[in-house]
Structure 1
Amino acid sequence: MSTPAPAPAPEDSSAPFDPHAFPSDLVAAQREAAELYAALHAYQETLPWSREPHPGWPEETERGRQRSGRPASPGWSDEQAARFDKFLEDLRKATELVQAHKWWERCAREGIKGADMVAARQALKRAEGAVPAPAQGAPLAQDDVRAAA
């Protein structure tokens, strides 16, 4: 199991500011968001393609271009829809914690802007402790999270 990144030095520290020295609560929030994202998409793979019942459509070729068809969908049950909506709501809340975290305000006060701020936000997604670990215990890579979904 990986250890979250150490808390950043106090603002009055004489050490230079490191926008990649993420606080542990931000790393934990990013990890939760990644886990929820993977769980939501894994669950979505088990559902019919349409939330509402739909008759589908046949495969067609029009002017030499193939248009794939879709089989009929029974739609989702009330339980399936409620579970999906719960996953989605939990993911929104976790994402909000990451996006609105006070760390990003601190970064802005320290002069981190534009591409450097984007780089810091992207680095969080790969930070130690922010990437979910599979059952075997080794951290997942970002592509693994997508594949699990």
Structure 2
Amino acid sequence: MTRYDFPQDLSDAQLALHQTQFEYEQYATTLPWSAEPMPGWEGDKQLHSAFRSSKPDSPGYCRSQSPHSVGRGERWKAVERTGWGPLRLRRA
């Protein structure tokens, strides 16, 4: 039993948050380091260390990994139809 008696809906929401964060982190590990194809690189040796930072060649994101295919559901289409999207970006 926990020290505090939290409402069940808050406990469920926290569990859903942790599960979503875990799934996001698992997905992020599958992505290449660059969204566009780029050559790999190796950094210079650092003073007092044998460590050299490096990245392998990046094939870039495939179509399903593109940021333009993520989060473009009906919710965002509704925002675009209402015209609130451009208004939000304006500065006063």
Larger RCO (CA under 8 A, 6+ residues apart): 1
**Do structure 1's residue 73 and structure 2's residue 73 form an aligned pair?**
no
* Partner residue of 2:33 out of 27, 49, 55: 49
Structure 1 segments, 4+ long, off by >3 Å, are 62-65
Shift of 1:59: 4.7
Task: Report SS of the residue matched to 1:32.
Answer: helix
Gaps of at least 5 residues in structure 1 are 6-17, 87-149
1:12-51, Cα deviation, whole Å (9 max, x unpaired): xxxxxx8x22111111111111111111111112221222
- TM-score norm. by structure 2 comes to 0.57
Higher deviation after alignment, 64-73 or 20-29:
64-73
1:78-129, Cα deviation, whole Å (9 max, x unpaired): 31135x944xxxxxxxxxxxxxxxxxxxxxxxxxxxxxxxxxxxxxxxxxxx
Q: Which whole-Å CA distance do the structure 1 matches of 2:14 and 2:35 have between them? A: 28
What letter matches 2:55 in structure 1? R
Q: Which whole-Å CA distance do the structure 2 matches of 1:72 and 1:49 have between them? A: 9
- TM-score norm. by structure 1 comes to 0.38
Q: Which whole-Å CA distance do the structure 1 matches of 2:45 and 2:60 have between them? A: 27
Q: Which residue of 2 aligns with 1:35?
A: 19
Q: Which whole-Å CA distance do the structure 1 matches of 2:28 and 2:70 have between them? A: 11
